[in-house]
Amino acid sequence: MTRVQRARFIQTLAVGITGAAAVFIIAAALFLLVYIVVRGLPGISWAFLTESPSGQMKEGGIYPVIVGTLYLIAFTALFSLPVGVAAGIYLSEYAARGPATRAIRLAISNMAGVPSIVYGLFGLALFVILLDFGKSILAGALTLACLTMPVIITATEEALRQIPSDLRQASLALGATRWRTIYRIVLPAAGPGIVTGSILGLSRAAGETAPILFTAAVYYKRQLPDSIFSDVMALPYHIYILATQVTGRPDDIIWGTALVLVAGVTLLSVLAAAWRSRQRRKVRW
């Protein structure tokens, strides 16, 4: 082989390998989605979505389970969004480049790398036992918030970084303070990016089992939660329980629950993406 022939061969090989990887990813994602839909659909019905489990969990619906997850995610958002967005603003707009800031960034990326079961243990120790919140929506949401925070901080920082410094300069040059520049100019422009990133983080939290295992989720509960100190049923935990603890696995219910979880999370991301592209068309620079 001449050198040119060899170069051409390597080139073809590179296209082939990277292309195959891309096709593999798409196929895997598609297969996963189709499989969940096919296995899940038979279990889905109006009654499934609106009734409580019955008959040793092998019959009935998952209404309280859906409600439990909705509560957990709503409170997770309530706790993690303000703090995460504020920290992201601080890092992007105020913090001077230096060892302290680098240490904070390192801490955040480490936090993102901690296994979720460790967050579960941490939540048990701090929120359930030490602060005495018990196994509750409050303790579970706080634990999930710790898990989600790094994602929100990073998303906020990224979104703020995308805003051209031109706009900040223009605002400062008009006699606006830094804070006014941030909340009147930078934040509105970065809003869509922040929201999309945060929703991604929250959808991950919605599907986590380990953090709520010791802090919020229960096996079975007749009534709906009546305060943030109630424990709850939750979608991922419900799947885990049905698949491992119930004799004679009720497949339709397991896969139906999985489909509800995936559909909910997907719906959130699609809504976020749609909203973002609408904002983008309004706000371009």
Partner 1 sequence: MVTENQQTIRGSFELKDVSVTYGVETAIAGVSMDIPPNAVTALIGPSGCGKSTLLRCLNRMNDELGNATVGGRILLDGVDVYAKEYDPVELRTKVGQVFQKPNPFPMTIYDNVAYGPRTQGIRKRAQLDEVVERSLTRSALWGEVKKDLKKHAFELSGGQQQRLCIARALATEPEVVLMDEPASSLDPISTQQIEDTIAELKENVTIVIVTHNMQQAARISDLTAFMLRETMEAPAFLVEVGETRAMFTNPGDKRTEAYITGRFG
By CB under 8 A, the residues from 109 to 168 that bind partner 1 are: 164, 166-167
Q: Which is nearer to partner 1, 1 or 96 (CB)?
A: 96
> Rounded to the nearest 5°, which phi and psi values hold at 51?
-115, 160
Q: How far is the CB of 174 from partner 1 (least distance, A)?
A: 4
Distance (Å, whole) CA 232 – CA 173? 53
State the DSSP string of 51-95: S-EETTTTEE--HHHHHHHHHHHHHHHHHHHHHHHHHHHIIIIIP
Q: Least separation, in Å, of the C-beta of 262 and partner 1? A: 35
Residue 284 sits in the site that holds partner 1 (CB under 8 A): yes
Phi-psi category of residue 103: left, alpha or beta, with phi > 0 → left and psi -120 to 50 → alpha: alpha
Four-CA torsion 191, 79, 218, 230, nearest 10 degrees? -130
Structure tokens at 57: 């969990």
**Between 117 and 176, whose beta carbon lies closer to partner 1?**
176
Assess 4 for contact with partner 1 (CB under 8 A).
no
5 burial via Cβ count (<10 Å: 0-12, 13-18, 19+): exposed
Contacting residue, 170, 267, 271, 273, with partner 1 by CB under 8 A? 170
User: How many residues in the shown chain lie near partner 1 by CB under 8 A?
Assistant: 22
Q: How far is the CB of 192 from partner 1 (least distance, A)?
A: 11
Q: How far apart are CA 172 and CA 183, in angstroms?
A: 12
Total residues belonging to the chain: 285
Cβ closer to partner 1: 125 or 283?
Answer: 283
Q: What residues from 33 to 92 belong to the interface with partner 1 (CB under 8 A)? A: none
Work out whether 171 is an interface residue with partner 1 (CB under 8 A). Answer: yes
**Which CB, 34 or 170, lies closer to partner 1?**
170
Q: Name which of residues 174 to 193 contact partner 1 (CB under 8 A).
A: 174-177, 180, 184-185, 188-189
* Helix 251-282 / helix 187-207 crossing angle, nearest 10 deg: 170
Which of residues 46 and 285 has its CB atom nearest to partner 1 in the complex? 285
Residue type, 58: K
Q: What three-state secondary structure class fits 232? A: strand
Asked if 173 touches partner 1 (CB under 8 A), the answer is yes
What residues between 186 and 225 interact with partner 1 by CB under 8 A? 188-189
Contacts with 279 (C-beta within 8 Å, 6 or more apart), sequence order: 191, 192
Q: Among the candidate windows 32-40, 170-178, 238-246, 260-268, which touches partner 1 by CB under 8 A? A: 170-178
Residue 283 found at the interface with partner 1 (CB under 8 A): yes
Residue 160 in contact with residue 198, Cβ under 8 Å?
Answer: no
Indicate the residue among 170 and 271 with the shorter CB distance to partner 1. Answer: 170
**Interface residue with partner 1, options 99, 222, 227, 285 (CB under 8 A):** 285
Q: Which is nearer to partner 1, 165 or 223 (CB)?
A: 165
> What Cα–Cα distance (Å) separates residue 176 from each residue in 24, 112, 183?
52, 35, 11
Smaller CB separation from partner 1, 8 or 280: 280
Binding site for partner 1 (CB under 8 A): 96, 164, 166-167, 169-177, 180, 184-185, 188-189, 282-285
